[in-house]
Structure 1
Amino acid sequence: MADTINIPPADTVIDAVETVATDVTDVITGYEVMADRAEDGLKPVVTRLLVLHQSHAATLADSVKALGGQSEDAGSVMGLVHTAVATARDWFDGLDRSAISVIVDGEKRLIESYSDALSRVEGHDEITRLLASQRGDLEAQVIALAR
């Protein structure tokens, strides 16, 4: 008897990808503020992460559309929180290399979002590969930032 492959329902896959896309958009919102305010030592890090997340967001949006979903992601209230945190940190502490720990924490939360989505799309090989690849990109950035 052949093994049965359980492919999750399309709406589950779409929801999982949309959730990650929202989280990525929220992070982008915070990095956009940071990019404008970051001091020279932090600016290359923020710019690199911003470009990476923008690329991921575009790919996720394309995937949602290909799956039959609507890609109209404007983020969530967490985007406003990221903006407020970046702005407050700039006002009180400045956005210098000391902000790396905050960036790493945010990236780790995003990695958790990818892990959650991966558990929901197990069996959908294409989306699993996409999410695993993007999560791997983030894990590499966290490792690089920890050095």
Structure 2
Amino acid sequence: MTNETLDDTTTEVLDAVGDVHIALIDAVHGYDVMLEKAEPEIRTVLETTRETSDRQAHELAEFLVAQGRHPSDDGSFMSMVHEGVVRTRAFFTDIDGDVLPAVVDGERRIVSSYDDALETLARNMDSLPRATFDAAHAVLMKHRSEIEDVVRRLAARHHALED
């Protein structure tokens, strides 16, 4: 394994982890907007989901910094688009239990981002320093599991509100 291969492989993996980090930052921004207008019936579940996304974003940022990266706290352009959509919806209607299916879909997209990062990690496992692989694998698997729990919690809250 050459240093060039190691650098390319490490870059590919860190880029994939960085993509998850950006998705989490975008989610936090979206939750901030939703919480401004959220009805009491969903406020707690949105706050908990936001806290999970925020903590995970910080943990991924710490991992990226430890690998020599400088992650942004700004998120992506789509963050601004989603914020506009939520603000427009809030102008015309309440942010209530009806938004939970869309929130679940958003969280599932984040799970897909984790899957993409894990796939990239697995594909490059033999080319990475063992410590980098172990650290990335541990944080990605832990976070993915937590988001699956978030999805279940959101879906359960939505079903409870429908009954």
TM-score, normalised with respect to structure 2: 0.81
1:97-120 deviation line (CA, Å, top 9, x unaligned) = 111111101101111111101111
| Corresponding position: 1:135 with 2:125 | no
Q: Percent identity?
A: 32
SS in 2 for 1:68: coil
1:104-147 deviation line (CA, Å, top 9, x unaligned) = 01101111111101111122122012111101111111112222
CA drift at 1:92: 2.4
CA drift at 1:10: 1.7
Match of 1:96 in 2: 96
Q: Which has the higher helix share?
A: 2
Structure 1: runs of 5+ lacking an equivalent: 1-6
| Corresponding position: 1:26 with 2:26 | yes
Q: Quick one: distance in 2 between partners of 1:16 and 1:138?
A: 17
Map 1:1-147 onto structure 2 (within 5 A): 9-122=9-122, 123=125, 124-147=133-156
CA drift at 1:78: 1.2
TM-score, normalised with respect to structure 1: 0.90
8 A Cα contact 1:104 1:145, kept in partner: yes
Structure 2: runs of 5+ lacking an equivalent: 1-5, 126-132, 157-163
Q: Quick one: distance in 1 between partners of 2:33 and 2:69?
A: 29
Q: Which moved more, 1:86-95 or 1:114-123?
A: 86-95
8 A Cα contact 1:27 1:82, kept in partner: no
Deviation >3 Å, runs of 4+:
none
Equivalent pairs counted in the alignment come to 141
8 A Cα contact 1:18 1:64, kept in partner: yes
Q: Kindly report the root-mean-square deviation, in angstroms, between the aligned alpha carbons of the 2 structures.
A: 1.5
